[in-house]
Structure 1
Amino acid sequence: MATPEVFGTQPAPELWLVAGTAALALVAVVPHAIWRLSRNAITIAHEGGHGLVALVTGRHLQGIRLHSDTSGLTVSRGRPTGLGMILTAAAGYTAPPLLGLGGAWLLADHRITLLLWVATALLVAMLVMIRNAYGAITVILTGAAFLLVSWLTEPGVQAAFAYAAVWFLLLGGVRPAFELQAKRRRGGAPDSDADQLARLTHVPAAMWFFLFHAVSLCSLIGGGRWLLGL
């Protein structure tokens, strides 16, 4: 594909397509049976957020694992305390909605093809750090979907795929923190991101949950307004 097509703009889709992809993303997030499968994509963004911030803050990223129960693990080496570790721990639950917000900004500027290529590049970069077979297969399939859509489909199909993906990140980024809170109330997840942050900062885990919810809900509202042209 020629460079001008990647960095140029594409026609804005009709409002019915934007609304339809939002409904499709909602169907992927709300029913529990579908969410058990679709949540894998949110886990990719979650663990990718941990990994990216670990690298940016100077930590040594050792590897990322994605599991079939939609959990994941990112291992980095460096100081066990300090700002770098705090930012790395905080990046997981905030990454999917913030990626969705960034995607909504690109789509609001009609950069559909650029969004697809940026997503593909991020997935390829993440694949290098995957350390288990299930994780590698999941990332390869997701990256292949973005690559094939960007190379082989018409602009209308690209727009529908891009909008559905961004809506999914925005909507799917809201649910995991609520699920984690419910699990902690039942006595599970004693070493969650919120609990790690509480130990690192001496700020109660409840405040970190407030941050996760604030980021995800504000991203959904802001990103949704951009996608709907408001």
Structure 2
Amino acid sequence: MDDLVREWSAQLLDSGNVAALVAGVLSLLLVLSRNTWLLLRNVVTIAHEGGHAVVALLSGRKLNGIRLHSDTSGLTVSTGKPTGPGMVFTLLAGYPAVSLLGLGGAWLVTVDLAHVMLWACIALLAAMLLAIRNAYGVLSIVLTGGVIFGVSWFATPAWQALCCALFSWFLLFGGLRPIAELRRKRSGGRAPNSDADQLARLTGLPAGIWLALWFLIGLAAILTGGTWLLLMPQV
């Protein structure tokens, strides 16, 4: 059995297109499955809250802290002007951040820079750890960073590329599901203070417009990043 697994793995890694397709299908199943999504959604929340935090800092706001919760929700608190472009862009950034990180990862994989993606993720998680303000958040960051470090340190370059392709696909698909979940919550009146609703109050544009914008960004990221990954050369 071990010989068969090694032979299958070698054949898979020898074909970049097939490896990318397998990684994409597996990622989609992980996102669609309720059991795996309940656990792996924590990774999506990390990316989401990281997006809020980065844009808050870039827009001149003061980052007070980030909290990650066991129900996979999160909260990024920043202080500054309560209205204006800085606040709008900070609220806008969370949902697209997940898809755009997946898109960036897809590009790095296709240009044979998977190792750069791994170490960039570790660096970003280390920086984010400094802003975490609760124990579950620390645990989430440390565990996620530990898995990525393990891949970067112990996996061969071929397996690093395959793992990064899997991670990129997961972020691309995982960027869309929370938007659909938010839409369902809002239709049931269970998310009155969502990012979309806060943006609606700040800009006067309906929350549905922001949901549609996030969905289109995520869809464009999947089409672009997916094309890059499916054209991935031999790993």
TM-score normalized with structure 2 length: 0.91
Does 2:133 correspond to 1:93? no
Figure out how many residues of one structure are paired with residues of the other and give that number: 220
Q: Which of the numbers 107, 110, 113 marks the counterpart of 1:108? A: 110
Structure 2: stretches of 5+ with no match in the other structure:
1-12
Conserved? CA contact 1:64–1:131, under 8 Å? yes
Deviation sequence 1:139-175 (CA, Å, 0-9, x none): 0111111112111221122112111110000010011
Residue 205 of structure 1: which of 197, 204, 207 is its match?
A: 207
Partner of 1:6: none
Please give the secondary structure, in 1, of the residue aligned with 2:63. Answer: strand
Q: State the Cα distance separating 1:36 from its structure 2 match.
A: 1.0
**Aligned mates of 1:193, 1:127 — CA distance in 2:** 23
- Verify the 8 A CA contact 1:12 1:110 in the aligned structure 2: no
The separation in 2 between residues aligned to 1:58 and 1:111, in whole angstroms, is 32
Change (3 A) 1:110 1:12: farther
1:5-20 residue pairs with structure 2 within 5 A?
14-20=16-22
For structure 1, the residue ranges without an aligned partner over 5 or more in a row are 1-10
Distance of 2:43 and 2:193 partners within structure 1: 22
Aligned partners of 1:13 and 1:159 also within 8 Å:
no
Structure 2 partner of 1:172: 174
Q: Call closer, same or farther: CA 1:86–1:133 in 2, change over 3 Å.
A: same
Alpha-carbon offset, residue 17 of structure 1: 1.3
Superimposed CA distance per residue, residues 164-188 of structure 1 (whole angstroms, 9 cap, x where no aligned partner): 1100000100111111000111110
Following superposition of structure 1 onto structure 2, how do residues 30-45 of structure 1 map, counting pairs within 5 Å? 30-45=32-47
Q: 1:52 to 1:134 in 2, by over 3 A?
A: same
Task: Please give the alpha-carbon distance, in whole angstroms, between the structure 2 residues aligned to 1:17 and 1:218.
Answer: 22
For the 8 Å contact 1:13–1:156, the answer to whether it is kept is no
How far the C-alpha of 1:107 sits from its partner, in A, is: 1.4
Cα distance in 2, alignment partners of residues 169 and 13 from structure 1: 22
Q: CA deviation at 1:13?
A: 5.8
Cα distance in 2 for residues equivalent to 1:22 and 1:59: 37
Larger mean Cα displacement after TM superposition, 21-30 or 54-63: 21-30
Tell me the C-alpha RMSD between the 2 structures.
1.4
Map residues 128-207 of structure 1 onto 2, 5 A cutoff: 128-207=130-209
Which moves more between the two structures, 213-222 or 105-114? 105-114
What's the TM-score, normalizing by structure 1?
0.93
Deviation at 1:50, TM superposition (A): 0.3
Residue 78 of structure 1 corresponds to 80
- Displacement of 1:14 in angstroms is 2.0
Q: Give distance in 1, aligned partners of 2:185 and 2:89.
A: 23
**Number of the residue aligned with 2:8:** none
Mapped partners of 2:18, 2:231: distance in 1: 12
- Matched-pair contact (CA < 8 Å) for 2:16–2:231: no
Counterpart CA distance in 1 for 2:118 and 2:25 is 20
> Take 1:110 and 1:214, find their aligned partners in 2: how far apart are those partners?
28
SS class of match (1:93): helix
Which residue of structure 2 aligns with residue 224 of structure 1? 226
Larger Cα Rg: Structure 1 or Structure 2? 2
Give the structure 2 partner of residue 23 of structure 1: 25
Contact 2:66 2:133 in 1 (8 A): yes
